[in-house]
Structure 1
Amino acid sequence: MNALQKLNNKLKNNLFICVGLDTDIKRIPSHLLNKSEPILEFNRIIIENTYNYASAYKINFAFYEKFGSKGFQYISQTKKMIPSDTLVIADAKRGDIGNTAKMYAQSIYDELNFDAVTLNPYMGYDSVQPFLEYTEKLNFILALTSNKSAADFEKLKLADGSFLYQQVINKIKEWNKKGNCGIVYGATNKDDLVNDILLFDDLPVLLPGIGAQGGNLEDVVRLFITNNKRNFIVNISRALIYLDDSSEFGDKINRYMTYLNEKILQITNEN
């Protein structure tokens, strides 16, 4: 089963939540610190309590790479905990010149065997092309991000009146000849999303920014569903995995995921 098939199978079952594993050892419940591998134990509990309700998982490489070679063991071992029918995204935001990009692609797709990756396109086509050669994978390319400084470059206005990030989306559609491109679009600004949603066409959309960064889940889901678009996943990281630090945090995360999916299902049934 290729990456897009994994994703579509989940979306058909009204599963739109992507669980972000931004695991920070300083924030995990203190009772886990007595375990031999606290990070892996934390991730295991998160995964076991979310996989029935998740469309995908996104492993944020920065939180693991900080541990050096040990961190890559954490990445690999965490990925093995996730059911094989579920999309797993390497949130690595790779983007470099062709030869270097080729090595990054081999690392993420051949060695670590991820289904998908996040990519930074600002060095142009040759920085993403090696990833696009993997036709069974899915490449989420940064368009409009959810951070406050996105306006520094992404929202620069061009001579034709469009924003730079909108031209990036148009370029990604050109690159999508093999049907393995998606976009990353920050869900923190509803007005931007209202203006851009038809620009996405059929590209799968990864939406960060819900929860801790201020995006509203119901607004975002309703906007996609009312525009007859179901090819989106909403990433929730900190607002989900750190919602409780007691010994019962797994159960509470399970209940919260159930609640989120019920809210989404209600919206889809209304439309």
Structure 2
Amino acid sequence: MATFLTRLSKISKTQGSIILANDYDYSTQNLERKTIANIKNLYPFLCGIKLNFHLLLPLSSKQILRINDVAHSYGLQTIADIKLNDIGNTNKITSEHLWAMGFDAIIANPIMGVDSLKNLTKSAHSYDKGIITLCHMSAPEAKLSYDMQVKIDTKMQLYQLFLDWALLAKVDGIVVGATFPNIIKYCSQKAKKKLKIFSPGIGTQGGNPDEVISSGSDFLIVGRTILNSKNPSKTAEDLQLSSLRK
């Protein structure tokens, strides 16, 4: 079986680099049906779909497996966005449950430490699955934590340490918010293509797709901008065309 990045890169060559953040709020009914409908309606413009905690928790494992099976039938890769961060044994068991439900990758929080992150990544790769770690989130309040100055051997900002750990652990990618293009550029230049950059925060939060792509992002994670659009297919197609121009 090909690796997660190989599978994701293959589909993105023809369908662009848009990953749908299929994240609905608690008031939404029929989550499984709506998620599957989104996949069937929008798959020509996507390379993947991301499912967050608040969508996963109301669903059963069988429902999640069905969603992942439908996504895979259209060639899409699926990402469990749970910000995984715990002791090694918990990380391993959690990830194995998610692999069994059909996910291709997990978003994890590197605050667990570089050794735990290495073990998680090694385990994931043994299943041909992927690990994506937080580096700098897209929300405005992210500056309060991810820009925080820390010191281990030398002083640096937290996102710089997280990037260093991601490179040491050989993760598949990092999350850097589209609202911080200068940080995307820093990470892209330092990583030198050793990992992929995934950027949420397009549109609704203010991120500009062209600016983000030119700064070095490889994949755009887009949720409300598509889901709340009057014409989701047209919005997804426009974003796809931006990603294919890179």
* TM-score, normalising length: structure 1: 0.80
2:232 to 241, 245, 253: 253
Structure-1 residue corresponding to 2:19: 18
Q: What does 1:144-183 correspond to in 2, within 5 Å?
A: 144-158=136-150, 160-176=154-170, 180-183=171-174
Corresponding residue to 1:189 among 180, 202, 220: 180
Q: CA deviation at 1:3?
A: 1.1
1:219 aligns with 2:208: no
The 2-side partners of 1:124 and 1:161 are apart by 17
Which residue of 211, 226, 229 maps to 1:240? 226
**Residue segments in structure 2 that go unaligned for 5+ positions in a row:** none
Flag the structure with larger Rg. Answer: 1
Distance 1:120 1:232 in 2: 20
Q: Look up the SS of the partner of 1:44 in the other structure.
A: helix
Q: Against the structure 1 CA distance between its residues 211 and 165, is the aligned structure 2 distance closer, same or farther, given a 3 Å change threshold? A: same
Q: Identity, % of aligned pairs?
A: 25
**What is the distance in 2 between the residues matched to 1:163 and 1:117?**
24
The answer to whether structure 1 residue 92 and structure 2 residue 82 are counterparts is yes
Could you list the runs of 5+ residues in structure 1 that have no partner in the other structure? 28-32, 225-230, 245-251
User: Runs (4+) of structure 1 moved beyond 6 Å?
Assistant: none
Q: Deviations over 1:229-253 (max 9, x none)?
A: xx71100011111213xxxxxxx22
2:41 to 19, 34, 49: 49
Taking structure 2 as the reference length, what is the TM-score of the superposition? 0.87
Contact in 1 for aligned 2:132/2:173 (Cα 8 Å): yes
Contact kept in structure 2, 1:46 and 1:253, CA below 8 Å: no
Distance (whole Å) between structure 2 residues aligned to residue 46 and residue 107 of structure 1: 24
Shift, 1:146, TM fit: 1.3
User: Once superposed, what is the RMSD of the aligned Cα atoms?
Assistant: 2.1
Distance change >3 Å, CA 126–CA 99, structure 1 → 2: farther
Shift of 1:131: 4.2
For residues 160 and 37 of structure 2, what CA distance do their matches in structure 1 show? 39
Is 1:101 aligned to residue 91 of structure 2?
A: yes
